C-alpha cells in the first residue's frame, strides 16, 4: 500500500524506536532477501485516485466502500503536510476496516485527561473510533516516537471507541523529511484499533513474554491470522503461530509481530532497512478480522512472504526501531458518552 511505503536514507542512521514505552528492542535483524518482494511499482503519492480511463492497475485496487470512521481530534494542530499524512492513514485504516460500530455520543469536553481531554468541539456521533492526537516532546530526538492505544471501549461489545496517539514532536520533522512519517502514523493507528493492545483483552495472546520471560513462544491465536500466516510461509515454521514479539520488553513485546520472523511487516517493532517498502500483510488485516466486532477488506493487503531464512543481523544504521509505548484501555463508555473506569 502506498501509504505504508517508505523511502528513507539508510546512511542517516538514527536509532529511532516506535511508540513510546516499548522498551528498546534492538530490532536489528533482517533478511537479505526481503519479504516484501516485488511491489508492482506503485507510487508514493496520493492514493485513491482512480483513473476514469479504464480499470485501475492491479496494484492499486479501489479502496472498498466502508462505513467505518476515524475522527481525529487534534490537541496540537499539525502542519498542513503532517495533516495530509494523518488523513492518508485514516483513509487506509477506514478501507481495511469496513463496518460501522454502534453509534456513541462523544462530547470532547468530557474526554478524561488520561485520554487526552478535555477538548473543545461539538458532540460527535462516533460509529468507528475517535482519536485524540497530541504532538508533544516525549524524550528528545530518536528513541520513542510515540505512544498509542485505545483509551475507551464501548461498554457493549468492548470495541475501541476513543483512542489516543502521542507523537514525539522532536522527531516529527526528521520522520517527515525521511518519508517515514506515514509508516509511523499507520503503525500507531493500528495500535489504537487494537493491534497488540486488545489481544490479551480478547483472549488471543498466549504465553506473553513480559509475564513469562524473554524467549517465550508468544503467539496470537486468532484463527484467521493463523490461516493467513500459514499461507504466507515460504517454507516451514516450527514455532507457535502467529509469532508475537517475545523480547520481554514492555511496549515492543507482546504487542507486535515477531521481528525476527516477520522482519519488515508494518506491525513489527522496527522497520528493517533492506527494503524501501513496509508491507501491510493480510496477516495483519486478518488479526483485525479475528476481533469480534470488525469486518475487513483485504483489498489493500500488500504482497508478503514470511522468509525462510534469516540473515545475519543488519549492519548498524540500517534499521529503524520504533520504541512503542502501548496505551491500554482505561474506560468503558456508554452510548450516551458516559465514562466508567475499567477495572481489570
Which residues contact Zn ion by CB under 5 A? 18-19, 324
**Buried (b) or exposed (e) across 302-331, using 16+ Cβ within 10 A?**
bbbbbbeeeeeebeeeebbbbbbbbbebbb
Nearer to Zn ion, 97 or 267 (CB): 267
**Minimum Å distance from CB 183 to Zn ion?**
11
**Minimum Å distance from CB 148 to Zn ion?**
7
Nearest CA to 156 out of 292, 344, 326 is that of 292
- Please tell me the distance from the alpha carbon of residue 297 to that of residue 337, in angstroms, as a whole number: 29
**Minimum Å distance from CB 124 to Zn ion?**
26
Nearer to Zn ion, 19 or 281 (CB): 19
Nearer to Zn ion, 153 or 324 (CB): 324
Nearer to Zn ion, 126 or 148 (CB): 148
Taking CA atoms, 107 is separated from 74, 112, 133, 324, 332, in Å, by: 14, 10, 16, 28, 14
Nearest residue to Zn ion by CB is 324
**Minimum Å distance from CB 43 to Zn ion?**
26
Nearer to Zn ion, 26 or 60 (CB): 26
- Using H for helix, E for strand and C for coil, what is the string for 183-208? HHHHHHHHHHCCCCCCCCCCCCEECC
**Minimum Å distance from CB 4 to Zn ion?**
14
- Burial of residue 110 (CB within 10 Å: 0-12, 13-18, 19+) is middle
Amino acid at each position: 500500500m502506498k501509504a505504508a511505503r517508505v523511502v528513507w536514507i539508510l546512511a542517516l542512521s538514527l536509532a529511532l524506536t516506535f511508540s513510546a514505552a516499548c522498551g528498546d528492542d534492538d530490532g536489528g535483524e533482517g533478511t537479505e532477501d526481503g519479504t516484501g518482494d516485488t511491489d508492482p511499482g506503485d507510487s508514493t503519492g496520493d492514493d485513491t485516485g482512480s483513473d476514469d480511463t479504464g480499470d485501475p492497475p492491479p496494484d492499486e485496487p479501489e479502496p472498498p466502500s466502508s462505513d467505518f470512521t476515524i475522527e481525529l481530534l487534534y490537541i496540537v494542530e499539525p502542519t498542513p503536510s503532517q495533516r495530509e499524512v494523518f488523513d492518508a492513514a485514516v483513509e487506509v485504516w477506514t478501507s481495511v476496516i469496513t463496518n460501522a460500530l454502534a453509534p456513541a455520543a462523544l462530547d470532547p469536553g468530557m474526554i478524561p485527561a488520561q485520554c487526552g481531554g478535555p477538548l473543545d468541539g461539538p458532540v460527535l456521533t462516533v460509529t468507528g473510533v475517535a482519536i485524540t492526537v497530541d504532538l508533544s516532546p516525549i524524550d528528545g530526538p530518536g528513541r520513542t516516537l510515540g505512544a498509542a492505544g485505545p483509551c475507551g471501549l464501548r461498554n457493549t461489545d468492548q470495541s475501541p471507541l476513543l483512542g489516543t496517539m502521542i507523537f514525539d514532536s522532536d522527531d516529527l520533522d526528521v520522520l517527515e523529511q525521511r518519508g517515514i512519517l506515514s509508516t509511523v502514523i499507520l503503525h500507531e493507528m493500528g495500535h489504537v484499533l487494537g493491534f497488540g493492545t486488545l489481544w490479551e483483552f480478547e483472549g488471543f495472546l498466549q504465553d506473553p513474554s513480559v509475564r513469562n520471560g524473554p524467549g517465550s513462544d508468544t503467539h496470537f491465536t486468532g484463527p484467521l491470522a493463523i490461516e493467513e500466516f500459514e499461507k504466507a510461509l515460504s517454507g516451514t515454521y516450527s514455532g507457535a503461530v502467529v509469532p508475537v514479539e517475545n523480547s520481554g520488553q514492555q511496549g515492543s513485546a507482546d504487542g507486535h509481530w515477531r521481528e525476527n520472523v516477520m522482519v519488515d511487516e508494518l506491525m513489527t517493532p522496527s522497520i528493517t532497512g533492506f527494503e524501501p517498502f513496509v508491507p501491510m500483510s493480510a496477516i495483519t488485516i486478518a488479526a483485525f478480522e479475528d476481533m469480534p466486532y470488525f469486518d475487513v477488506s483485504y483489498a489493500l493487503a500488500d504482497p508478503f512472504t514470511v522468509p525462510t531464512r534469516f540473515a545475519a543481523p543488519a549492519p548498524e544504521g540500517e534499521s529503524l526501531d520504533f520504541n512503542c509505548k502501548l496505551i491500554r484501555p482505561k474506560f468503558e463508555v456508554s452510548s450516551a458518552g458516559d465514562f466508567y473506569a475499567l477495572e481489570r
